[in-house]
């Protein structure tokens, strides 16, 4: 037997309800957390209907639409949670279905991984799961593929439902002051320069010193099950420093980042300054979570939440020829009622209402959330200072004056 999957029992009920629908096939995503020994599946969400394909043949699988759905869902998951694989509900031939699932899981993982700004770790799990459910017999077939091996063959996996799976996860959270200067591409069809700027900043976060309660704990130190670990990170552009929180007996985590100043000459079409405060959060399964895992998941969430918001703004920035100040969307959390303390998230622009957020949660994650369920307290619009954008020849600062030819960009490297 291959990998084992411990699955929240609510997922069984959700898949059963999907089996009762007349549509065939029904596809979707499996979401949870991986570990070296086994994976934990905390929810499943079906692929939303694509309006323009509603009249198409019902026995086809829209791989492009499923993959885009996976990309959007991945952005809505806090640290520690990820898209583990895909499922399909169909009574089609098992062999043909396995071929379809294999294609889907590789395509989905490749697209999601392409948006990651961090380097893979040696202990990252590379197996992704596929689940085939027959709507008539309710028989399930669980298989895994090693998505780092293009020639990977299907391996059988154990799929077991369990109640109370998410009742006692550790929560790691922090606030981070962000101040980033990024170059805008002079070619509006390319964002490679922009991405390189983000990657340089992500490297700073990844290489930072992670402190818990003001101390550098051994990587194998265990966190207390069910506790909330409060953290703080700060990017220091001068002499490195850090400070502690003192709130009762909660552990306090920080990341201390020191910088060397490097000047790099690059071609660009402008610059964008991103400033403000973000809230970062990661969830760790209660199977003896270690300090090493907390550090990895929280740092990745910091990078992901900033990159997601910046990428959401990029398209609008590159289609504008005027100087403007834009406010980045702020992060909103929504609890998974069947999954204990776990939450998903969304990003709300200043001109959007709470109903816009609940509609997206329904469309992307099939969550029936009320506006009262939304946690908007972690980030306020006042904290999210936003982006100061100076494209093209309208730039007025000394650095920006050089942007039409070569801009001297201030980058911070460890």
Both 141 and 187 in a single domain?
Answer: no
pLDDT exceeds 70 at position 405: no
Same domain, 133 and 205: no
Identify which of 44-58, 113-127, 286-300 has the greatest average pLDDT.
Answer: 113-127
Q: Which domain holds residue 215?
A: 170-328+384-413
Residues 194, 306 within the same domain: yes
- In this structure, of 52-56, 181-185, 252-256, 273-277, the range with the lowest mean pLDDT score is 252-256
Quick one: what percent of the chain has pLDDT higher than 70? 71
203 and 249, same domain (yes or no): yes
Total-model pTM: 0.83
Report how far residue 78's alpha carbon sits from residue 344's, in angstroms, rounded to the nearest whole number: 6
Domain shared by 255 and 309, yes or no: yes
Domain CATH number, residue 128: 3.40.140.10
Confidence of residue 396 (pLDDT cuts 50, 70, 90): very low
Nearest alpha carbon to residue 180 among 158, 203, 160: 203
Residues 194 and 123 in one domain: no
- What pLDDT score does 214 carry? 67
- pLDDT grade for 393, boundaries at 50, 70 and 90: very low
Kindly state whether residue 337 falls inside one of the protein's structural domains.
Answer: no
Please provide the distance, in angstroms rounded to a whole number, between the alpha carbons at the two ends of the chain.
44
Q: What is the pLDDT of residue 411?
A: 25
pLDDT for res 14: 96
Question: Is the pLDDT reported for residue 372 higher than 90?
Answer: yes
Q: pLDDT, tens digit, for every residue of 190-230? A: 567 678 888 988 988 888 777 766 667 788 888 765 556 65
| Confidence band of 254 (pLDDT split at 50, 70, 90) | very low
Position 83 scores a pLDDT of 98
Would residue 279 count as lying in a domain?
Answer: yes
- Residue 26 in any domain: the answer is yes
Q: Which of 113-122, 184-193, 213-222, 393-402 ranks highest by mean pLDDT?
A: 113-122
Whether residue 38 is found in the same domain as residue 137: yes
Q: Let me know the angle formed at the C-alpha of 344 by 39 and 21, rounded to the nearest 5 degrees.
A: 75
**252 has a pLDDT exceeding 90:** no
Whether residue 226 has a cis bond before it, omega within 30° of 0: no
Distances from the Cα of 147 to the Cα of 65, 84, 113, 182, 207, angstroms: 20, 11, 11, 32, 26
* Residue % of the chain over a pLDDT of 90: 44
- Structural domain contains residue 302: yes
pLDDT band at 292 (very low <50, low <70, confident <90, very high): confident
Task: State whether 204 and 123 are in the same domain.
Answer: no
Residue 53 has pLDDT above 60, yes or no: no
**In 3D, which of 279, 266, 182 has the Cα closest to residue 230?**
279
pLDDT category of residue 232 using cuts at 50, 70 and 90: low
Q: How far is CA 43 from CA 11, 47, 292, 402, in A?
A: 6, 13, 25, 50
Identify the pLDDT of residue 314: 75
The reported pLDDT for the residue numbered 227 is: 55
**Closest Cα partner for 118 from 266, 312, 315, 307?**
307
Tell me what the pLDDT averaged over the chain comes to: 78
Listing DSSP states for 16-75 in one string gives HHHHTSS-SSEEEEEEEEE-SSEEEEEEEEEPPPPGGGTTS-TT---HHHHHHHHHHHHH
Same domain, 132 and 76: yes
CA distances from 165 to 7, 86, 128 (A): 7, 20, 20
* 274, pLDDT greater than 80: yes
Pick from 46-50, 60-64, 335-339, 354-358: least confident = 335-339
pLDDT tens for each residue of 137-160:
999 999 999 999 989 999 999 999
Residue 365 has pLDDT above 60, yes or no: yes
In the predicted model, what is the mean pLDDT of residues 30-40? Answer: 92
Q: Which residue has better confidence, 350 or 370?
A: 370
Q: What is the pLDDT of residue 321?
A: 59
Report yes or no: 297 and 282 within 8 Å, Cβ to Cβ. yes
Asked if residue 333 is part of any domain, the answer here is: no
Domain membership of residue 146 (yes or no) is yes
| Total structural domains within the chain | 2
Indicate the residue among 109, 130, 162 that finishes a domain. Answer: 162
- Domain stops at, among 162, 182, 215: 162
279 and 398 together in one domain: yes
Q: Is residue 373 part of a domain?
A: no
pLDDT(95) > 90 = no
Spatial separation of the C-alpha atoms in residues 306 and 318, rounded to whole Å: 18
In a shared domain, residues 10 and 154: yes
Task: Establish if 378 belongs to a structural domain.
Answer: no
Phi, psi of 296 (to 5 degrees): -65, -45
Q: Average pLDDT in the 66-81 region? A: 96
- Tens digits of residue pLDDT in 329-364: 899 999 997 667 899 999 998 889 999 999 999 999
Q: How far apart are CA 210 and CA 207, in angstroms?
A: 9
Are 134 and 225 within one domain? no
Q: Are 277 and 177 in contact (CB under 8 A)?
A: yes
How many residues belong to the chain? 414
| Residue after which a domain boundary falls, among 107, 128, 162 | 162
């Amino acid at each position: 037997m291959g990998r084992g999957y411990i699955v929240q029992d609510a997922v069984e009920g959700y898949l059963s309800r999907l089996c009762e629908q007349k549509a065939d096939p029904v596809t979707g995503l499996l979401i949870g957390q991986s570990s070296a020994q086994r994976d934990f599946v905390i929810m499943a969400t079906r692929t939303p209907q694509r309006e323009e394909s509603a009249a198409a043949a019902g026995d086809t699988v829209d791989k492009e639409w499923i993959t885009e759905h996976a990309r959007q869902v991945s952005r809505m998951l806090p640290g520690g949670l990820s898209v583990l694989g895909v499922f399909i509900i169909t009574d089609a031939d098992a062999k043909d279905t396995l071929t379809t699932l294999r294609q889907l899981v590789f395509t989905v993982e490749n697209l999601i991984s392409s948006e990651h700004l961090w380097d893979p770790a040696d202990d990252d799990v590379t197996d992704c799961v596929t689940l085939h459910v027959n709507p008539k017999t309710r028989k399930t077939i669980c298989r895994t593929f090693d998505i780092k091996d293009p020639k990977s063959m299907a391996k059988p996996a154990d799929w077991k439902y369990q109640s109370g799976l998410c009742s006692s996860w550790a929560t790691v959270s922090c606030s981070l002051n962000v101040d980033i200067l990024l170059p805008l591409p002079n070619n509006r069809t390319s964002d490679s320069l922009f991405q390189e700027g983000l990657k340089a900043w992500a490297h700073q976060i990844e290489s930072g010193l992670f402190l818990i309660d003001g101390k550098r704990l051994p990587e194998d130190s265990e966190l207390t099950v069910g506790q909330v670990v409060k953290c703080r990170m700060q990017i220091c552009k001068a002499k490195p420093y850090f400070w502690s929180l003192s709130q009762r007996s909660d552990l306090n985590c920080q990341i201390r980042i020191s910088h060397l100043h490097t000047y790099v000459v690059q071609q660009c079409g402008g610059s964008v300054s991103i400033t403000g405060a973000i809230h970062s959060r990661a969830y760790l399964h209660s199977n003896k979570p270690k300090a090493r895992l907390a550090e990895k998941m929280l740092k990745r969430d910091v990078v992901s939440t900033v990159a997601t918001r910046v990428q959401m703004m990029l398209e609008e920035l590159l289609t504008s020829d005027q100087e403007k100040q834009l406010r980045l969307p702020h992060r909103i959390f929504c609890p998974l009622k069947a999954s204990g303390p776990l939450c998903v998230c969304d990003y709300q622009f200043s001109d959007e209402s709470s109903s816009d957020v609940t509609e997206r949660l329904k469309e992307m994650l099939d969550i029936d959330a009320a506006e009262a369920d939304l946690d908007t307290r972690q980030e306020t619009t006042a904290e999210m200072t936003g982006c100061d954008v100076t494209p093209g020849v309208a730039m007025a600062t000394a650095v920006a004056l050089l942007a039409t030819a070569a801009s001297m960009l201030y980058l911070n490297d460890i």
